[in-house]
A and B are shown apart, each in its own frame.
Chain A
Amino acid sequence: MKSLFALAAVALATAPALADADPADWAAVEAAARGQTVFWNAWGGSTATNDFIAWAGGRVAMDFGVTVQHLKLTDTAEAVTRVLSERQAGVDEGGAVDMIWINGPNFAAMKEAGLLFGPFAESLPNWQFVDVDGKTVQSDFTVPTEGFEAPWAMAQVVFMHDTDDLPQRLGSMAAIRDWAVANPGRFTYPQPPDFLGVTFLKQALIDITGDAGALQAPVSDATYDAVVDPLWAFLDTLTPALWRDGRAYPANGPAQLQLIADNEIDLAISFSPGEASAAIANAQLPPSVRTFVLDAGTLGNASFVAIPYNSSAKEGAMVLANFLMSPEAQLRAQDPEILGYGTVLDMEALPATARDAFAALDLGVATLSPAELGQVLPEPHPSWMVRVADDWMLRYGTGQ
């Protein structure tokens, strides 16, 4: 056993930087991709996203002969763990994970540990259409992507409210707190460390703290308490007024949709401006749901796909990543009847026909227009949220 571990350690130390697939030679990539099977590890808790992934898989199978298998994760960290375990075991080629839907702390961890293939993203043919200037597609939670992940969707925080019970929009986190206290049991958020739950904490922190600028730098012991204390004060007031008195939380974002449909809650956070419209179309939400953003703006970021260094189908994964950035896939993803995700593309860079198709898209009853979505706020450095999520666990997540 010991020798096996030792072997793994040696393999780890000597693992070469693999350069077998060069995205600059795209014809060669497409040729190598034909016949490959890409195991795309992506969170599988949302039916709409699963359908979109299945559709994308069908399209690349048809056009490029690449088979896509969607591995439905309950948490993206599972895929990261898998790649880590494989490196630990010296499986430097032919790994089980070919592509990951990833962003934020998971990306930061994988990039820092050298677990990613690349850079590849900015050499993909469809990169020419990507809105590099207007959208945060080259940094992920302040960490530069440097081509190690390819963007495929833009997300921005909105709040979904059931207008039958909460007709007016609420302009700030303080207003949300006051409304929740006046209407106990009608609001909740996904339980951190769930991605959306942590997003709620971040959004609250940015809106409430006096020093939002500090969040752009890595966390430091010197300033942590001063920056974060207002958040704990906010939560101390809010938590007793939450759904189930804050003694239980929905597991993730889609679980909140069911709670609104069941009329258990009236207000929920979402990281996708089109999610509410898509869910209404899918009969998952009542038609009375609308969305709003905060006066001071809301958090926004991009969803990416990354390829592990030991992926067994790097070329196939690049073909899929490139397809996801195509106008065709982006248009479908933005359709609220399908997915309602924001596009990563620059309308000005697109051919006229594609631009017209985007302009003609009906964004749905509950989706705000780009102008109404207002100010997009940058994500804090990932180190903040690791610490805030841990502290949340101590304060609210262990029954104390």
Chain B
Amino acid sequence: MRTTVSWGALPVLTLCVLLGPVAAGLWGTLLPAFGHLPAAGQTGPTLAPFADLLAWPGLARSVWLSVFTGLTATALSLGITILIVAGWWGTRPFVWVQRALSPLLSVPHAAAALGLAFLIAPSGWIGRAVSPALTGWDRPPDWLIINDPLGLSLIAGLVAKEVPFLLLMTLAALGQADPTRSLRVAQALGYGKVTGWIRCVLPRVYAQIRLPVFVVLVFGMSVVDVALILGPSTPPTLSVQIVRWMNDPDLARRLTAAAAALLQLGLVAGALGLWCAGERLAAWIGVRAIARGGRGRGERALRGVGLSMGLVGAAAVLGGLAGLIVWSFAGFWGFPDALPDGFTLRNWSRQAMALKGAAADTALIALAAVTLAIVLVVGCLEAEHRRGRTLTQRGLVLLYLPLLVPQTAFLPGIQTLLLSAGAQTGAGPVILAHLVFVLPYVFLSLADPWRAWDARHGRVAAALGAGPGRVLWRVRLPMLLRPVLTALAVGIAVSVGQYLPTLLIGGGRIATLTTEAVALASGGDRRAIGVFAVAQTGAALVPFAAALAIPALVWRNRRGLHG
């Protein structure tokens, strides 16, 4: 009886770890938004911060930018994902797509954005490759591509990173959607591959990837690092402007920032509402289309579009990364040379000191957060198993909640609260903040393989006299070594990529590879940026490689455990 109680406490603890910071942060945002910040000589409640916010002339434009870039990036990412899976599932190119997923996913957003910026700028690698031979340019054209006022390059950067994420989520969902038989029936009835998939499989799959799609939407609307690098600056998106106000020496601007953070929260809620309305519209159109009985036209074109968009996205991320690698070893590299005048190790040796410190902080935070996360997640899953209760849909929403609240709405509030509580700055609070973002991904990554484990192994072990603890440690965890390590790698990649939590909660004392890379990005020194972005990507990628290599080594003599 007592064990039941303690196992039941774990999910509660996990929820507290997840939701406590979010709730506290929102509270810490709410007070100053209504003018309550005694240190600035302000006591509320008053609506003055909102009046200041409304008086800012860039407001309409930055609100529009946040909504437009977020919705467009999400719709495009989802559309491309659907076309790739619908058109190519079960084919050879799809196997390549699956292989490319992990590396693409692990490239941190900031590094991908920095690489993309160098590719597509007028003086970027693409321009250099075709100049002056094809273009006749001996100097780059004065084209506004990066930081364009419509946020198109920001959208491109988001799509390139979100398609792999949605693809992964879709693949996970497909396992439960039984696509093969549905497709066989649809194709026997004369539906094209894409059309059949969209009409028969998509409705079931979409129900399962709906929350991840929401996450993409919220992230796209509130991201700071990618928007700093690729987004417009006259004015920037609302999230970037919030961070600017938070950092203004004039304390009164913090009230404006808090008001804007609440507006951001409202915008995200509104956009989610709009998206849900869009879902209904799409469903209505879909049902009508099914009723009309069309078997699908332009199948080849749709398949082509899906695959080529996917390839372009992958090429943008990987090509950008290659560009950063070249820059990190570059001597002088003028336009329009396709390669630098010379290669040197000097850029790396110059950064060695800073790199070492940042790498150590990155590793410490990532390992601590991921260790906590895996303990909680395994505990929750094991509790679920022992108590025979799986996570309800409502529980799943709670799990997703930290990812559905814009970071810029609650992180500034946490910073204020931590300070008010007199908490010491340092790695501790940053690790807890990272945990909020790491935990959901670790859970999502591990839950399915954990539940899919054949419980008969456990029964055999129990019949041989093993207690539940021994079954967990000696049978289940070893058998699930690969998914556990993959979940750890996912968690590390998430932690490595965190910018805003590290910056705001660390109070500047914590310098990770990501904060360093983004800080350097503002200085435009591509060699230094290259060094840090490459190191950042390595920090995220190496754990994935280890997650592949370690089980292969440990289980080299257990053929049945080679996934």
Q: Which residues of A contact B (CB under 8 A)?
A: 1, 4-6, 8-9, 12, 39, 41, 44-47, 50-51, 54, 69-75, 77-82, 84-91, 94, 96-97, 105-106, 109-110, 165, 184-185, 191, 243-245, 247-252, 254-259, 261-264, 283-284, 286, 393-394, 396-400
Q: Is B382 an interface residue (CB 8 A)?
A: no
Contact of A286 among B334, B357, B508, B525 (CB under 8 A): B334
Q: Which residue of chain A is the closest to B58 with respect to CB atoms?
A: A398
User: In the bound complex, what is the Cα–Cα distance between A400 and B518 (angstroms)?
Assistant: 28
Chain A residues positioned under 8 Å from B58 (CB to CB): 393, 397-399
Q: Is B72 an interface residue (CB 8 A)?
A: no
Whether A251 and B144, one on each chain, are in contact in the complex, defined by CB atoms closer than 8 angstroms, is no
Contact of B232 among A5, A70, A110, A248 (CB under 8 A): A248
* Given known A-B contacts A248-B234, A262-B140, A86 and B419 have beta carbons under 8 A apart: yes
Whether A262 and B335, one on each chain, are in contact in the complex, defined by CB atoms closer than 8 angstroms, is yes
Whether B519 and A74, one on each chain, are in contact in the complex, defined by CB atoms closer than 8 angstroms, is yes
Q: Which residue of chain A is the closest to B147 with respect to CB atoms?
A: A248
Binary A-proximity of B52-80 (CB < 8 A = 1, otherwise 0)? 00000110010000000000000000000
Q: Is B235 an interface residue (CB 8 A)?
A: yes
User: In the bound complex, what is the Cα–Cα distance between A204 and B2 (angstroms)?
Assistant: 76
User: In the bound complex, what is the Cα–Cα distance between A249 and B39 (angstroms)?
Assistant: 35
Whether B523 and A84, one on each chain, are in contact in the complex, defined by CB atoms closer than 8 angstroms, is no
Whether A247 and B149, one on each chain, are in contact in the complex, defined by CB atoms closer than 8 angstroms, is yes
Chain B residues positioned under 8 Å from A110 (CB to CB): 249
Contact of A12 among B39, B143, B416 (CB under 8 A): B39
Instruction: Flag the segment in B318-326, B420-428, B445-453, B487-495 that touches A.
Output: B420-428
Chain B residues positioned under 8 Å from A75 (CB to CB): 247
Q: How far is the CB of B388 from chain A (nearest CB, A)?
A: 41
User: In the bound complex, what is the Cα–Cα distance between A243 and B145 (angstroms)?
Assistant: 12
* Given known A-B contacts A45-B522, A46-B523, A398-B61, A4 and B420 have beta carbons under 8 A apart: yes
Q: Is B454 an interface residue (CB 8 A)?
A: no
Whether B520 and A44, one on each chain, are in contact in the complex, defined by CB atoms closer than 8 angstroms, is yes
Q: Is B280 an interface residue (CB 8 A)?
A: no
Q: How far is the CB of A142 from chain B (nearest CB, A)?
A: 18
* Given known A-B contacts A82-B508, A397-B58, A255 and B524 have beta carbons under 8 A apart: yes
Whether B233 and A85, one on each chain, are in contact in the complex, defined by CB atoms closer than 8 angstroms, is no
User: In the bound complex, what is the Cα–Cα distance between A311 and B320 (angstroms)?
Assistant: 42
Chain A residues positioned under 8 Å from B415 (CB to CB): 85
Chain A residues positioned under 8 Å from B248 (CB to CB): 77, 81
Binary A-proximity of B398-420 (CB < 8 A = 1, otherwise 0)? 00000000000000000110011
Chain A residues positioned under 8 Å from B421 (CB to CB): 4, 89
Chain A residues positioned under 8 Å from B525 (CB to CB): 45-47, 254, 257-258, 284
Q: How far is the CB of B212 from chain A (nearest CB, A)?
A: 31
Instruction: Flag the segment in B13-21, B30-38, B551-559 that touches A.
Output: B30-38
Q: Which residue of chain A is the closest to B41 with respect to CB atoms?
A: A9
Chain B residues positioned under 8 Å from A9 (CB to CB): 38-39
Whether A263 and B123, one on each chain, are in contact in the complex, defined by CB atoms closer than 8 angstroms, is yes
Besides A70-B354, A96-B509, 15 new A-B residue pairs in contact (Cβ under 8 A), listed by A number:
A4-B420, A47-B525, A72-B511, A72-B520, A75-B247, A89-B39, A90-B422, A109-B250, A247-B149, A252-B524, A263-B139, A284-B525, A284-B527, A399-B149, A399-B234
Q: Which residue of chain A is the closest to B62 with respect to CB atoms?
A: A398
Q: List 11 A-B contacts (CB under 8 A).
A: A46-B523, A47-B527, A73-B519, A81-B246, A91-B422, A244-B143, A248-B232, A248-B233, A252-B524, A398-B235, A400-B57
Q: Which residue of chain A is the closest to B24 with respect to CB atoms?
A: A1
Chain B residues positioned under 8 Å from A397 (CB to CB): 58, 234-235
Shortest 3 CB-CB distances between A and B: which pairs?
A88-B39, A45-B523, A255-B524
Whether B519 and A44, one on each chain, are in contact in the complex, defined by CB atoms closer than 8 angstroms, is yes
Chain A residues positioned under 8 Å from B232 (CB to CB): 248, 399
Interface residues of B in 484-532 (CB under 8 A from A): 507-509, 511, 516, 518-520, 522-528
Q: Is B332 an interface residue (CB 8 A)?
A: yes
Q: Which residue of chain B is the closest to A70 with respect to CB atoms?
A: B354
Whether A283 and B331, one on each chain, are in contact in the complex, defined by CB atoms closer than 8 angstroms, is yes
Contact of A258 among B61, B235, B331, B524 (CB under 8 A): B524
User: In the bound complex, what is the Cα–Cα distance between A255 and B419 (angstroms)?
Assistant: 34
Whether B508 and A254, one on each chain, are in contact in the complex, defined by CB atoms closer than 8 angstroms, is no
Contact of A248 among B39, B144, B522 (CB under 8 A): B144
Interface residues of B in 124-170 (CB under 8 A from A): 138-140, 142-144, 146-149
User: In the bound complex, what is the Cα–Cα distance between A6 and B148 (angstroms)?
Assistant: 46
Q: Is B538 an interface residue (CB 8 A)?
A: no
User: In the bound complex, what is the Cα–Cα distance between A255 and B37 (angstroms)?
Assistant: 36
Whether B508 and A244, one on each chain, are in contact in the complex, defined by CB atoms closer than 8 angstroms, is no
User: In the bound complex, what is the Cα–Cα distance between A74 and B251 (angstroms)?
Assistant: 18
Q: How far is the CB of B501 from chain A (nearest CB, A)?
A: 15
Q: How far is the CB of B371 from chain A (nearest CB, A)?
A: 26
Chain A residues positioned under 8 Å from B122 (CB to CB): 264
Interface residues of B in 102-127 (CB under 8 A from A): 121-123
User: In the bound complex, what is the Cα–Cα distance between A51 and B525 (angstroms)?
Assistant: 14
Chain A residues positioned under 8 Å from B526 (CB to CB): 258
Q: Which residue of chain B is the closest to A244 with respect to CB atoms?
A: B144
Whether A264 and B139, one on each chain, are in contact in the complex, defined by CB atoms closer than 8 angstroms, is yes
Chain B residues positioned under 8 Å from A185 (CB to CB): 142
Q: Point out which of B122, B525, B527 has the most chain A C-beta atoms below 10 A from its C-beta.
A: B525
Q: Point out which of A106, A191, A248, A393 has the most chain B C-beta atoms below 10 A from its C-beta.
A: A248
Q: Is B27 an interface residue (CB 8 A)?
A: yes
Whether B249 and A263, one on each chain, are in contact in the complex, defined by CB atoms closer than 8 angstroms, is no
Q: Is B353 an interface residue (CB 8 A)?
A: yes
* Given known A-B contacts A82-B507, A96-B508, A250-B524, A72 and B516 have beta carbons under 8 A apart: yes
* Given known A-B contacts A81-B248, A185-B142, A283-B332, A47 and B234 have beta carbons under 8 A apart: no
User: In the bound complex, what is the Cα–Cα distance between A250 and B525 (angstroms)?
Assistant: 12
* Given known A-B contacts A1-B31, A96-B509, A261 and B246 have beta carbons under 8 A apart: no
Chain B residues positioned under 8 Å from A69 (CB to CB): 357
Chain A residues positioned under 8 Å from B27 (CB to CB): 1
Whether B419 and A249, one on each chain, are in contact in the complex, defined by CB atoms closer than 8 angstroms, is no
Q: Is B387 an interface residue (CB 8 A)?
A: no
User: In the bound complex, what is the Cα–Cα distance between A70 and B357 (angstroms)?
Assistant: 10
Q: How far is the CB of B489 from chain A (nearest CB, A)?
A: 28
Chain A residues positioned under 8 Å from B523 (CB to CB): 44-47, 251-252, 254-255
Chain A residues positioned under 8 Å from B424 (CB to CB): 94
Whether A88 and B425, one on each chain, are in contact in the complex, defined by CB atoms closer than 8 angstroms, is no
Q: How far is the CB of B307 from chain A (nearest CB, A)?
A: 33
Chain A residues positioned under 8 Å from B38 (CB to CB): 5-6, 8-9, 88
Contact of B509 among A71, A106, A165 (CB under 8 A): A71
Q: Which residue of chain A is the closest to B37 with respect to CB atoms?
A: A88
